């Protein structure tokens, strides 16, 4: 199975920019790139920060754009999103507990879409009602599961970034640990960085967003760090006994070269272009 992972699209009013980049324009570029190379994907998931300011108009525009998109799409919300405004436009995500959570079955297993948003803070929360929801979903199905969420569920060891991580990360990891045999992979956003690691023994990955990028500047202790690295989205291939995750830098403007055959016999000093 192939799935597409986008994050941190940060839609805002037409013509507005973030870091000198137009989020709507770059989101459209990402969608075109996805369809050009990955029209066979079974699912596309966008893990939060759908809107930069949580404006209803952004969700209405996104709804209209995705309603005509040929791939199935599922959404998570992030710290820049407004849950009430989001649910007013995407009511199908509303759970009985008031959070924007859900699931979808795929060829690779059951995908769970988590709500880690907390009003009036950029940090993530996973309070007891949300923990109970996750425990119940994991207990009612044999799996395997893929988890999608916005906030990073483990420390990055970047001081300013970890101030706005999932603050209930230890409790979340305990739930994951109890169910690690069922969970294949955890996909998250929020950090605007390519990240890989594990959560209670379960592999996890993140990526740059479709607009602005961060940078792992470990010497900066107070402020979040930004860069002009290319915009990106993710492609994951989920097989019976493996998961492969790529970060595709669709915003890269340089040349892409073919350097040689994978045939070892063709590698020689006379013909190789180096």
Non-local CB neighbours of 160 within 8 Å, separated by 6+ positions: 220, 221, 222, 223, 224, 225
Q: Are 11 and 57 in contact (CB under 8 A)?
A: no
Count of beta carbons in the 10 Å neighbourhood of residue 64: 10
Q: Are 159 and 202 in contact (CB under 8 A)?
A: no
pLDDT of residue 259: 77
State the pLDDT confidence band at 96, using cuts at 50, 70 and 90.
Answer: confident
The pLDDT of residue 130 is above 70: yes
The pLDDT of residue 262 is above 90: no
The pLDDT of residue 97 is above 70: yes
Count of beta carbons in the 10 Å neighbourhood of residue 117: 26
In angstroms, how far is CA 243 from the centroid of its own chain?
16
The pLDDT of residue 95 is above 90: no
Non-local CB neighbours of 165 within 8 Å, separated by 6+ positions: 123, 124, 151, 152, 153, 154, 155, 156
Determine the Cα–Cα distance for residues 167 and 163; give it in Å rounded to an integer. Answer: 8
The pLDDT of residue 66 is above 80: yes
Q: Which CATH number fits domain 2-266: 3.40.50.12780, 3.60.21.10, 3.40.50.300, 2.60.40.290?
A: 3.60.21.10
Average pLDDT over residues 188-204: 98
Determine the Cα–Cα distance for residues 124 and 166; give it in Å rounded to an integer. Answer: 4
Q: What is the pTM of this model?
A: 0.96
Measured between alpha carbons, how far is residue 121 from residues 76, 102, 149, 216 in Å? 17, 23, 16, 22
Q: Where are the domains of the chain?
A: 2-266
Average pLDDT over residues 58-86: 97
pLDDT of residue 265: 81
State the pLDDT confidence band at 270, using cuts at 50, 70 and 90.
Answer: confident
């Amino acid at each position: 199975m192939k799935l597409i992972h986008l994050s941190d699209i940060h839609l805002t009013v037409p013509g507005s920019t973030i870091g000198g980049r137009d989020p709507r324009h770059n989101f459209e570029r990402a969608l075109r790139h996805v369809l050009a190379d990955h029209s066979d994907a079974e699912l596309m998931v966008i893990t939060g920060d759908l809107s930069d300011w949580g404006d209803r108009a952004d969700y209405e525009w996104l709804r209209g754009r995705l309603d005509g998109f040929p791939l199935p799409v599922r959404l998570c919300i992030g710290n820049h999103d407004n849950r009430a405004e989001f649910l007013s436009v995407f009511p199908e995500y509303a759970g009985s507990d008031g959070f924007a959570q859900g699931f979808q079955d795929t060829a690779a297993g059951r995908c769970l879409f988590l709500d880690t948003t907390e009003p009036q803070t950029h940090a993530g929360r996973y309070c007891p009602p949300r923990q109970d929801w996750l425990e119940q979903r994991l207990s009612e199905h044999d799996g395997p599961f893929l988890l999608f969420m916005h906030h990073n569920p483990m420390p990055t060891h970047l001081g300013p970034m970890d101030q706005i991580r999932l603050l209930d990360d230890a409790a979340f990891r305990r739930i994951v640990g109890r169910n690690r045999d069922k969970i294949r992979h955890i996909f998250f956003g929020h950090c605007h960085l390519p990240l890989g690691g594990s959560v209670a023994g379960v592999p996890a990955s993140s990526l740059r967003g479709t607009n602005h990028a961060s940078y792992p500047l470990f010497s900066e202790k107070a402020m979040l760090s930004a860069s002009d690295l290319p915009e990106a989205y993710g492609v994951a291939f989920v097989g019976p006994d493996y998961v492969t995750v790529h970060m595709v830098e669709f915003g890269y403007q340089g040349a892409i070269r073919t350097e040689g055959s994978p045939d070892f016999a063709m590698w020689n000093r006379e013909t190789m272009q180096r």
